Amino acid sequence: MRRLVRRLLLLLVLTVGLVRNGRQRAQGREIRRIVLIRPDHLGDLLFTTPALAELRQALPATHITYLIGPWFREIVARNPNVDEIQACAFPGFRRERQGALEPYRLLWQMADELRRQRYDLAIVLRPDFWWGVWLVYLAGIPLRLGYAGELQTPFLTSALPMRDGEHAVVQNLRLVQAAILLAEKKRGESSMLAQGAPALPVIGPEAAPALQGEPPLEFVPTAEERAWVRERLARAGIADEDRLVVVHPGTGAPVKLWETASWARVADALIRAHNVHVVLTGSEGERGQVEAVCRQMTERALALVGETNLGTLAALLARADLALGVDNGPLHLATAQGTPTVRLYGPTDARVFGPWGDPTLHRVIQAKQPCAGCAAIPCGRIDWRPEELPAHPCVRAVPVAEVLAAAEAMLARQQVTK
């Protein structure tokens, strides 16, 4: 029954799109305006910055618009490779509850807005984002590029296959590289038509596989943000030459959290053995967790809960000798600053969502045992209800000794290289 409803819905959207837009063709029309769509939060938006750089380098005269959620606009706002930012409170990515019809009302409204802006090409960067694919289809954008899927392929003009275990950065790069080849083809068609010659396809070479960390993640703190960090640390008695470890224990999904007592033990051990200062960071919503770590420590640490914004957090991470945490956005922000990290992974696949940087600078500790009811680890599921969390302790079961050994090895390596 569910499959039948899905098929009927697909048919309805296809029909509505044909009625609204007809069978649009982009033959001979150069790609001058591109819109990219990504509904996600901090880490996933950082993962798109290498693709933005590659797209801008290949198509410097093309107008690039990025349609993102309002939650982490700053990641893109200071990126030099985007001409325009538009915000959409994408359904399924907001904290508050929505009515059953709200996603479809918003879909229709946003489709009308995009339609008026007359884009030549849309790139839906998130692989499973059928809502975004339907959006660009209903908006009548002639060329629509994304990843193949039952709810997506019928609405795309070019659908790329997914590859198992491929890093999210590479997924974004593959889409952008396909878009660049498509733009070259359209440029060739337009030139030939202007000369009265028949349009011929332009076949480009297969894109070279991306090297780990290249192109890099991009987010640069300002001089003012760096100065704020120096002044704040100085007030806490931390000098410029002192070694600094940043711990960000929080994350968006409770199943990915480590025990606060475990973070306290690691922080205490690093302070005693390596003469480092520890700074604990977190949003206002993570205050309880950060304060719990501080209460369970015997050594002194600086807690900066709710004091930093995205820019000053990046500047703090750039100042650090090491950053520790679970699978979360701030650890990817640390990677963008070239800061070494140690991070814990459980249900999420580190091959896909792990650090995108110099492999020698990052240590991933993957939980070893699958949880009850999970066939394998990583299982890929993070949306467990609170009452289900006790049965899913994969991250909480990571030994303190393993995390401490990895952190000490990274600090020792930093000591040698300085």
Reported as type and span, the H/E element at residue 294 is helix 287-296
Mean pLDDT to the nearest integer, 113-136:
96
pLDDT at 194: 46
pLDDT at residue 413 tops 50: yes
Q: What is the pLDDT of residues 193-204, one digit of tens each?
A: 444 444 333 333
Banded model confidence at residue 6, pLDDT cuts 50, 70, 90? low
Q: pLDDT by residue (tens digit) across 37-51? A: 999 999 999 999 999
> Which residues have CB under 8 Å from 101's CB, separation 6+?
none
Overall fold of domain 231-417: Rossmann fold (3.40.50)
What's the pLDDT at 315? 98
The CATH class for the domain spanning 12-194 reads alpha beta
- Joined together, the tokens standing for residue 329 give 């956005």
Whether 231-417 and 12-194 are alike in CATH topology: the answer is: yes
Query: Phi and psi at residue 311, in whole multiples of 5°?
Result: -70, -45
Those residues with Cβ within 8 angstroms of residue 111's Cβ, 6 or more apart along the chain or in another chain? 135, 138, 139
Q: Give dist(CA 36, CA 48) in Å, integer.
A: 10
The model's confidence at residue 79, banded by pLDDT at 50, 70 and 90, is: very high
Question: Given this model, what pLDDT does residue 202 score?
Answer: 34
Of all residues in the chain, what percent carry a pLDDT higher than 90? 75
At 97, the pLDDT band (50, 70, 90 cuts) reads: low
Span 204-252, pLDDT tens digits: 344 555 678 889 999 999 999 999 999 999 999 999 999 999 999 999 9
Average pLDDT over the chain reads 89
Q: Is 217 helix (H, G, I), strand (E, B) or coil?
A: coil
- Whether the per-residue pLDDT at 78 is higher than 60: the answer is yes
Q: For 50-54, 88-92, 223-227, 363-367, which range has the lowest pLDDT when averaged over its residues?
A: 88-92
Alpha-carbon torsion angle 18, 21, 25, 29, nearest 10? -160
The domain ranges of the chain are 12-194, 231-417
Give the predicted TM-score (pTM) of the model: 0.90
Block residue for tokens 């296959």: 161
Which tokens hold the place of 130? Answer: 């059928």
So what's the pLDDT on residue 418?
56
Lowest mean pLDDT among 131-140, 192-201, 259-268, 322-331: 192-201
**pLDDT for residue 342 is more than 60:** yes
Is 60 exceeded by the pLDDT of residue 358? yes
| Residue 244 CA: distances (Å) to CA of 62, 130, 414 | 43, 43, 11
C-alpha angle with apex 160: 158 to 161, nearest 5 degrees? 145
Confidence bin at 278 (pLDDT 50/70/90): very high
For the cut 80, the answer to whether the pLDDT of residue 363 exceeds it is yes
